[in-house]
Structure 1
Amino acid sequence: MARTGAEAAIVWLASVAPDPRACRREWERNPKGMALLPAGRLWDVLLVPGELGYPTLDVLTRLLDRPGPVLADFGASRMGFFVPPGTAARWVGTGIRGVGDGTWIVVPRPGSTVGGARWLIPPDGSGTLTDATLLELALHEAAAARGARGGG
């Protein structure tokens, strides 16, 4: 039986949990729930201030049919771009925090619309991530556009 996008995403995300079945069960019981998942196995996350993250996402969606998963936190003050594992250890960028091997991140259940963190671009279960080099170029373009408008 083929899985829906949200079901495939749940399986993919939960696969990094210490107990993937327990993570999936918890999300089944509480569809609006969150899980604390380890980064650095299937993905890293680059946390970007929202005022730069949204324009960066606009650039990415012009360049790609589908960027990798993107989270936003309470009030959209920060956004998290899912990138290949190892990116956080190599990333150098002012105001951008890398979440990688040895760190954990709160992740909402795919398909959930309520909670402190929400998916702007949910995972599709295929493992699609945003290429770090392309993300860096999009960040530069977004920052330059903000600067030209007097926003930075």
Structure 2
Amino acid sequence: MDSGTTAPNAAAGPRLAPAGKDWDAVRVTRFLGLQTIERLGPHTGPVIMDPAARAMFFLVPPGTTQAWTDLPQATALGDTAYVVLPASDKQTPPGPYWLIPPQQLLADTRALREALETVLGPRAPTPVPDFGGGDDVAGRRGDVPWRRSAHPPPSEGGTSPW
């Protein structure tokens, strides 16, 4: 663990709490979060599930997300963010609830990051298609099957609606 920091204090009901003081949070999609929990196993730490947002929040020691770099589908929430903390005994919907209750130490930020990167896998850069104006993909007017079937190419000297 990054430190022996414990989870949030018990509360009778849900409350809006500032991140960055007692803990930071990492927000991920539900799909990604469930896979990450499988990787972390018993060292996951407290996790909040927000069914309406289809998101999960992993709680980590305060200040440890300041150096968090860009990771798809994961957002670090530090001292400028707030998170809804469910009542300490709320473990079912509706509303946000504890998927993993807060009676344990916070998750290790480095282990969480590594688990997220493993789940996401290697990412190749996505090529950006060229949507330049003028001719179609093949470089010639009317040489694309969908265009050929919908609109025949103009005859020589004719006018084109394109």
Identify the TM-score tier after normalising by the shorter chain: 0.5 to 0.7
Selected match of 2:96 from 113, 117, 136 = 117
Matches of 1:58 and 1:71 in 2, distance apart? Answer: 15
1:13 corresponds in structure 2 to: 9
Deviation at residue 76 of structure 1 after TM alignment: 6.8
Structure-1 residue corresponding to 2:59? 82
* TM-score, structure 2 as length reference: 0.63
Secondary structure (helix, strand or coil) at the match of 2:9 reads helix
User: 1:108, 1:115 within 8 Å by CA — same for their partners in 2?
Assistant: no
1:108 aligned residue: 86
Q: What does residue 108 of structure 2 align with?
A: 131
Q: TM-score, normalised by structure 1?
A: 0.67
For 1:87, what is the secondary structure of its paired residue? Answer: coil
Whether the 8 Å CA contact 2:14–2:85 is kept in 1: the answer is yes
* Runs of 5+ consecutive residues of structure 1 not aligned to the other structure: 1-7, 15-23, 28-32, 146-152
Tell me the distance in 2 between the aligned counterparts of 1:40 and 1:129: 13
Q: Look up the SS of the partner of 2:118 in the other structure.
A: helix
Query: Could you tell me which residue of structure 2 aligns to residue 38 of structure 1?
Result: 18
Amino acid in the other structure paired with 1:13: N
Bigger helix fraction:
1
Larger radius of gyration: 2
Point out which structure has higher relative CO (alpha carbons under 8 A, 6+ apart).
Answer: 1
What's the CA shift string for 1:59-111, capped at 9, x where partnerless?
111xxx34210011115721100011112321112221121113211110011
How far residue 114 of structure 1 moved from its aligned partner, in angstroms, is 4.0
Runs (4+) of structure 1 moved beyond 3 Å? none
| Corresponding residue of 1:73 | 50
Aligned letter for 2:78?
G
1:99 is the counterpart of 2:77: yes
Give distance in 1, aligned partners of 2:78 and 2:85: 14
